[in-house]
């Protein structure tokens, strides 16, 4: 969320950042609205001050026997009492309009983010591994799982509707193994603190990370006005909300394995086959609360953590930097790690690692106190999948399949699978 004072002082930079994303200039409209709000506040304060002065003057006039003056002052105070509520409403409405505008504006891209309209303009940075060259007709994860009798979309649809799945036997265990492997890697090797966070949150938490108000239609809401988290980013990042941290405590790194829930509004007809886009899925999330001068280094580090997971799973991937037209609402720079899926014959996103700068921190008032003790500054927040478990499961099945329909289990997962080396029918 932006500081209107910053926009007043950096109007050209604000509009230039919007232009990179293909958005129209907005700075002057916001500045004009802010000016009207400040003028209304000034008028309200002047009326309140005059009311107080006139009220005091009534007593003086009456003590001095100036009855006509006292009556005139009483009439003025009565008129002010009528006008003041109207001015209060006007000032409050202008403030709400300004807040609504500012809350709905996306973060600006950083200077290094490439310009472009959509994902076609994303820039590939590196690749790891070679997509498998099968000497048989490869199957996708749906064919593999159903042939094994371990994946069931039909029963899931009967109880929950479309975009749900039931995993059984070895596939259910493989899903659990992936989560355990990722958590162990991120905590033991990369220094993240494991957290078991709430899956239901209030409005303020989703507002803080940028899902509200603009993306309310993409969330699931409970009957008591809480929200099911679309990602553990919400819960983990909000652990810093409203707090003032010590500079020496930065960075703070958290990881969590949670269910995630997304209504996927607006995604009708997109990726409806199989497990790629579900209403309920599991993910291991990474979140960093960082010092502003260290956030870019932290961003590179986080991305490398996600890449390492895929390398240990022996999954080919590529890493791209998103262009301005493909950035998420809160991010000012994002690296997507895309895993190779033989069933689609293309790379698909399995982890988005984003640096939001101080955008989220402003929305949730997350700050730190510099070591010199002078004032406070907003932290920088970063988030990334470490990685999406459902898509990792798809990738393992499709990349490690064999001609007989069985699936080779990567060595990194075998300790979590009781030493099992392959999955076959009814494993």
Q: Does residue 61 sit in helix, strand or coil? A: helix
Could you tell me the sign of the dihedral formed by the alpha carbons of 78, 83, 84, 85, in that order?
positive
Inter-residue contact 50 to 80 (CB < 8 Å): yes
CA nearest 76: which of 59, 55, 62? 55
Q: Report the phi/psi class of residue 373: left, alpha or beta, with left for phi > 0 and alpha for psi in -120 to 50.
A: left
Got the DSSP string for 245-278? EEGGG--EEEEEEEEEE---TT-TTSS-STTSS-
Could you tell me the sign of the dihedral formed by the alpha carbons of 42, 45, 47, 50, in that order?
negative
- CA angle, residues 375, 381, 383, in degrees to nearest 5: 170
CA nearest 186: which of 307, 292, 86? 307
How far apart (Å, rounded) are the C-alpha atoms in residues 335 and 353?
5
Report the relative pairing of strands 346-355 and 380-388 from DSSP bridges.
antiparallel
Place of tokens 């991937």: 317
Tokens read off for 369: 């106190």
Q: Does residue 132 sit in helix, strand or coil? A: coil
For the chain, what is the radius of gyration of the CA atoms? 28
Q: Does residue 141 sit in helix, strand or coil? A: helix
Inter-residue contact 209 to 233 (CB < 8 Å): yes
Residue 218: phi, psi to the nearest 5?
A: -100, 5
Tokens read off for 260: 């995630």
- What residues does 341 pair with on adjacent strands? 346
Residue 281: phi, psi to the nearest 5?
A: -150, 175
How far apart (Å, rounded) are the C-alpha atoms in residues 181 and 309?
9
Q: What is the DSSP letter of 427?
A: -
Inter-residue contact 407 to 421 (CB < 8 Å): no
Q: How many residues does the chain have?
A: 427
Catalytically annotated residues? 262, 277, 349, 352, 391
């Amino acid at each position: 969320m932006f500081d209107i004072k910053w926009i007043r002082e950096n109007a050209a930079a604000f509009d230039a950042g919007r232009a990179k994303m293909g958005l129209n200039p907005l700075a002057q409209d916001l500045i004009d609205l802010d000016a009207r709000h400040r003028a209304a506040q000034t008028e309200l304060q002047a009326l309140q001050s005059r009311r107080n002065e006139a009220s005091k003057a009534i007593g003086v006039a009456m003590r001095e026997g100036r009855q006509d003056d006292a009556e005139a002052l009483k009439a003025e105070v009565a008129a002010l009492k009528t006008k003041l509520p109207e001015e209060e409403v006007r000032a409050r409405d202008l403030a709400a309009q300004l807040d609504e505008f500012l809350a709905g504006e996306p973060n600006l891209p950083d200077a290094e983010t490439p310009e472009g309209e959509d994902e076609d303009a994303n820039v590939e940075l590196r690749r790891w591994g070679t997509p498998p060259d099968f000497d048989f007709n490869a199957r996708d994860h749906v064919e593999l799982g159903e042939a094994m009798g371990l994946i069931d979309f039909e029963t899931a649809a009967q109880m929950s509707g479309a975009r749900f799945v039931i995993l059984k036997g070895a596939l259910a265990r493989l899903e659990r193994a992936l989560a355990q492997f990722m958590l162990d890697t991120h905590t033991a090797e990369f220094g993240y603190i494991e957290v078991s966070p709430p899956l239901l949150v209030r409005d303020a938490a989703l507002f803080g990370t940028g899902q509200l108000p603009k993306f309310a239609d993409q969330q699931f809401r409970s009957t008591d006005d809480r929200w099911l988290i679309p990602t553990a980013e919400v819960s983990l990042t909000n652990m810093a909300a409203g707090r003032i941290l010590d500079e020496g405590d930065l960075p703070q790194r958290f990881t969590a394995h949670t269910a995630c829930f997304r209504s996927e509004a607006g995604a009708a007809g997109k990726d409806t086959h199989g497990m790629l886009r579900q209403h309920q899925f599991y993910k291991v999330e990474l979140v960093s609360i960082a010092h502003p001068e260290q956030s870019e280094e932290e961003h590179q580090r986080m991305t490398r953590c996600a890449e390492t997971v895929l390398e240990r799973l022996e999954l080919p991937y590529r890493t791209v930097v998103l262009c301005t037209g493909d950035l998420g609402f809160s991010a000012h720079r994002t690296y997507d790690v895309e895993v190779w899926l033989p069933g689609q014959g293309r790379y698909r996103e399995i982890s988005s690692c984003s640096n939001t700068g101080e955008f989220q921190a402003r929305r949730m008032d997350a700050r730190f106190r510099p070591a010199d003790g002078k004032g406070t500054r907003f932290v920088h927040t970063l988030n990334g999948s470490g990685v999406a478990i459902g898509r990792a499961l798809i990738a393992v099945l499709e990349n490690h399949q064999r001609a007989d329909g069985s699936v080779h289990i990567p060595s990194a997962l075998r300790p979590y699978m009781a030493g099992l080396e392959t999955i076959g029918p009814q494993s």
